[in-house]
Structure 1
Amino acid sequence: MKLAGKVLVVTGAGSGIGQAVARAAVQRGAKVAAVDLNPDTLAATAGESAVMSAHPLNVTDREAVEALPAQVRERWGAVDGYVHCAGIIQPFVRLKDLDYATIDRVFAVNWSGTLYLAKAFLPTLLDRPEGHIVNVASMGGFLPVPGQTIYGASKAAVKLLTEGLHAECAGTNVHVTVVFPGGVATNITTNSGVAIPIDPATASKQATTVTTPERAAQDILDGVEANAYRVLVGKDAKLMDKLYRLSPRRSAALIAGKMQDLLSH
């Protein structure tokens, strides 16, 4: 779906990938309904733009999500698609040390929020000449990451939901894309309320290897305009996708080894 002249809803637009997607979509000629839990960062994203509206919203609030399509149509006259970037991670601890309140919160945001958006927007998109659904999963949604097992499980659910939507929408005017980012330089840890022990000796090296939100947004919107089935963001996601297909067990062991130091804190 070409973005010029379209109306695109972007969740998680207050920061990170969502913010970059919202701004890049405007540059490609779209009108954007920017959605985020944080009204202050959301206002900063929208700024004084005449082609971006701000919609503070908690994606775990089903009634609020169900009301969103009508709000966007009232503002822009139509809805042509959405890019769902909102999501949180879990604390970097093993499952045995993770409390149920945290587990429920991760699934409420990552899984229920994704489900609510699909149920709310799909009828509207099916009535448009062309529509597009984009859900951001994670490299952790196809490759197990110790210390992020519940997060990965929630993103694996997003993966299968999105691929199922793609199959169900085959032959309609609605395109569906699932996105798998690797490491992206965002503030998701802060937004998730998660603290990570940082080793100053490796922090600068890590900063040069992760993908920028702007590059992630470029890859995602290129995928939208190409009606891609899936988009892998970052060299790490592309590499691990290939390795995991060749040898799931060895790939999982490789990631587990890299997570060992973090989990030992």
Structure 2
Amino acid sequence: MELKDKKVIVTGGAAGMGKELVVQLLKKGSYVAALDINQEGLNNLKSELNNDRLSIHRVDVSNDQSLEDFKREYYSIHQEVDCLINCAGIIQPFVNVEQLDMNTINRVMNINFFGPFKLTKMFIEDLKKRPIANITNISSMGGFFPFPGQTVYGASKAALKLFTEGLYAESLDTNLKVMVVFPGAIATDIAKNSNVQMNTSASDSKMKMTSAPDASSQIIKGIEKDTFKLYVGKDAKFMNMLYKFNDKKAIAYINKMMKKMH
């Protein structure tokens, strides 16, 4: 999909990988609507980029009224939509399932799964009317592989994975291209933005992480090449292979690694 002059929606656009996607899409010549719940971050983004092709929108993807308000606001500015990138996401506190309260569980599921689901439902009919269109959903390495202490986060990302794969199957005979992305460890502030405390050994980890600009570049190339599944980072590719080869050994390995982090 050629991105020049295409109209793209990016959730989680004020920080991290979402922000880098906005930056790189604008460099490609796209019109971009950046969504985020962080108004200050959006204002800083607008000021920093100073690009007339960028619109910013404070949106809570877990709130139905906020989504409906955004839809009206979006069409009043851009009229059409060619691409939807669901990038907004949070992690859960690093605790076992029995220690999670339902408010936290619902928040993780609403932001990571139901937000992308509802935005897809909101725009998919219009996307299919375009000559070519794309929906890209950012799942996670945790969406195909279990991480102890992140079970509900993983469930939300696994739901997004299969939802996206189902969209791909339903769109084979249409002009709509669909991609699901599985990032490994990306150097962003997702823990801070999720209000999750991490100890010093985790936040200062020597683990090799993919940079947000590199990850975003790979995602954009995937959209341009009509990729279906994209694994971002050597860790995501390695764990995908290891889990398929020996799932018990893979889980034991990551369990040992996670115990060092919290």
- Give the Å deviation of 1:124: 1.0
Where do residues 68-79 of structure 1 align in structure 2 (5 Å cutoff)? Answer: 68-79=70-81
Scaled by the length of structure 1, the TM-score of the pair is: 0.94
Amino acid at match of 1:100: M
Show the counterpart of 1:245: 244
1:84-106 alpha-carbon deviations (Å, 9 max, x no partner): 11010000111121112111111
Aligned to 2:257: 258
Match of 1:89 in 2: 91
Deviation sequence 1:170-203 (CA, Å, 0-9, x none): 1101100000000001111111100000129x92
Corresponding position of 1:189: 191
* Alpha carbons 1:26, 1:51 under 8 Å: kept: yes
The residue that corresponds to 1:23 in the other structure is 23
- Aligned partners of 2:189, 2:82: CA distance in 1, in Å? 28
Aligned counterpart, 2:52: 50
Give the superposition deviation at 1:67: 4.2
Q: Could you tell which deviates more after superposition, 19-28 or 248-257?
A: 248-257
CA distance in 2, matches of 1:245, 1:194: 30
User: Percent identity of the aligned residues?
Assistant: 40
Q: Gaps (5+ residues) in structure 2?
A: none
Q: 2:154 aligns with which of 152, 155, 170?
A: 152
Higher mean displacement: 67-76 or 252-261: 67-76
Counterpart contact for 1:141–1:159, Cα < 8 Å:
yes
Match of 2:140 in 1: 138
Asked if the contact 2:62–2:107 (Cα under 8 Å) also holds between the matched residues in 1, the reply is no
Deviation digits for residues 201-241 of structure 1 (CA, Å, limit 9, x no counterpart)? x92623xx101110010010000000100111111011111
Report what 2:224 is aligned to. Answer: 225
Task: Quote the Cα distance in structure 2 between the aligned partners of 1:59 and 1:204.
Answer: 30
What is the deviation of 1:71? Answer: 2.6
Separation in 1, partners of 2:72, 2:32: 14
d(CA) in 1 for partners of 2:157, 2:205: 28
1:168 to 142, 149, 170: 170
Partner of 1:118: 120
- Aligned twin of 1:38: 38
Structure 1's unaligned 5+ residue stretches are: none
Alpha-carbon distance in structure 2 between the residues aligned to 1:23 and 1:65: 23
**1:177 matched residue in structure 2:** 179
Secondary structure of the structure 1 residue equivalent to 2:92: coil
Give the superposed CA RMSD: 1.4
* 1:103 is aligned to 2:102: no
CA distance in 2, matches of 1:5, 1:39: 26
Q: Which amino acid aligns with 2:244?
A: R
- Give the C-alpha shift of residue 66 in structure 1: 3.5
**Partners of 2:215 and 2:68 in 1: how far apart?**
28
Structure 1 residue identity aligned to 2:33: A
